[in-house]
């Protein structure tokens, strides 16, 4: 689907990355920039385009001849970081890391594709440790964990405008108090720490060319210019009284338990 209006210049997927990645913009694509680094280093490494057509300018892939090892590369819109994910057919986990230097990124790709083990890769390229995922606890802790996972997840993807929207929403306390998620590029919100999102809350998605669509709680779709406009519209559409869970995290759960114990002992409710 084209986001450009009649007579307008076509949308440039590299535009959100231009301030942090001028070298990639000059090369015309992430693949082009990384291939140039690989050629300069004499690695003999072939950098491929991403299999998703709309991501071919802003993401790249490498694979060994046997197809047993591969890696994806994307750019983080929050800060300059070439985000690398390495996988092997016989491994259960993905090795992830990031570096601001495209030469180092290509060096790590070369090491992985030529067969370096996990320890060898981490020793040679310290920005490439194995990393697990923390699912967090309950209440506010779980909401914070969902935000952390979402921010990290979109940073690995090639949609710079979605990354920018997530970061702008996270910067707003009223939205940060809600539990976030994405579905088909829509940034959605829920009141509790666990999905599904609430349909009485607004949601937003990139519309291309720096514009965003915002869906109102009653199902109408409006447009806003830039992340600031989208977040302002989201905030204006939040129902009155939208807030974080009442008993957040371990501290809140302890207060809830204490209040329940007092109520049982005295017969007087302490709230909750």
- Each of the 272 residues of the chain gets a pLDDT tens digit; together they read 444 444 555 668 888 899 999 999 999 999 999 999 999 999 999 999 876 676 788 889 999 988 889 998 989 887 899 999 888 887 666 788 899 999 999 999 999 999 998 889 989 999 998 653 333 444 567 888 888 888 877 766 667 788 889 989 999 999 999 989 888 789 999 887 665 556 789 999 999 888 999 999 888 999 999 999 999 999 999 987 665 444 344 444 444 444 334 334 434 333 33
3-class secondary structure, 54? helix
Quick one: pLDDT at residue 210?
A: 84
Quick one: pLDDT at residue 11?
A: 67
**Residue 183 and residue 195 in contact, taking contact as beta carbons nearer than 8 Å:** no
Indicate the DSSP class of residue 67: S
Give residue limits of the domains in the chain.
15-124, 139-237
Other residues' Cβ atoms within 10 Å of the Cβ of residue 45: 18
Quick one: pLDDT at residue 261?
A: 42
**Residue 49 and residue 31 in contact, taking contact as beta carbons nearer than 8 Å:** yes
3-class secondary structure, 16? helix
Other residues' Cβ atoms within 10 Å of the Cβ of residue 152: 14
CA distances from 5 to 2, 8, 15, 118, 209 (A): 8, 5, 17, 48, 10
Q: What's the predicted TM-score (pTM) here?
A: 0.57
């Amino acid at each position: 689907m084209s986001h450009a209006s009649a007579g307008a210049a076509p949308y440039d997927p590299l535009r959100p990355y231009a301030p942090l990645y001028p070298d990639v913009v000059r090369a015309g694509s992430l693949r082009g920039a990384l291939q140039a680094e690989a050629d300069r280093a004499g690695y003999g490494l072939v950098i491929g385009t991403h299999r998703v057509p709309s991501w071919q300018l802003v993401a790249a892939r490498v694979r060994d001849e046997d197809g047993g090892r591969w890696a994806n590369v994307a750019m983080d819109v929050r800060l300059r970081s070439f985000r690398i994910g390495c996988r092997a057919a016989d491994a259960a986990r993905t090795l992830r890391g990031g570096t601001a230097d495209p030469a180092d990124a290509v060096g790590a790709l070369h090491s992985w594709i030529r067969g370096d083990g996990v320890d060898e890769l981490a020793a040679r390229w310290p920005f490439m440790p194995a990393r697990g995922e923390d699912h967090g606890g309950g209440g506010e802790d779980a909401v914070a964990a969902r935000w952390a996972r979402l921010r990290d997840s979109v940073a690995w993807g090639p949609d710079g405008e979605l990354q920018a929207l997530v970061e702008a929403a996270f910067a707003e306390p009223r939205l940060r108090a809600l539990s976030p998620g994405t579905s088909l590029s829509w940034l959605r919100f829920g009141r509790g720490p666990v999905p599904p999102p609430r349909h009485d809350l607004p949601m937003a998605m990139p519309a291309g060319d720096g514009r965003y669509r915002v869906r109102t709680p009653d199902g109408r779709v409006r447009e806003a210019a830039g992340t600031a406009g989208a977040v302002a519209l989201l905030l204006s559409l939040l129902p009155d009284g939208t807030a974080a869970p009442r008993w957040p995290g371990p501290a809140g759960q302890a207060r809830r338990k204490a209040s329940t114990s007092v109520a049982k002992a005295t017969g007087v409710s302490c709230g909750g």
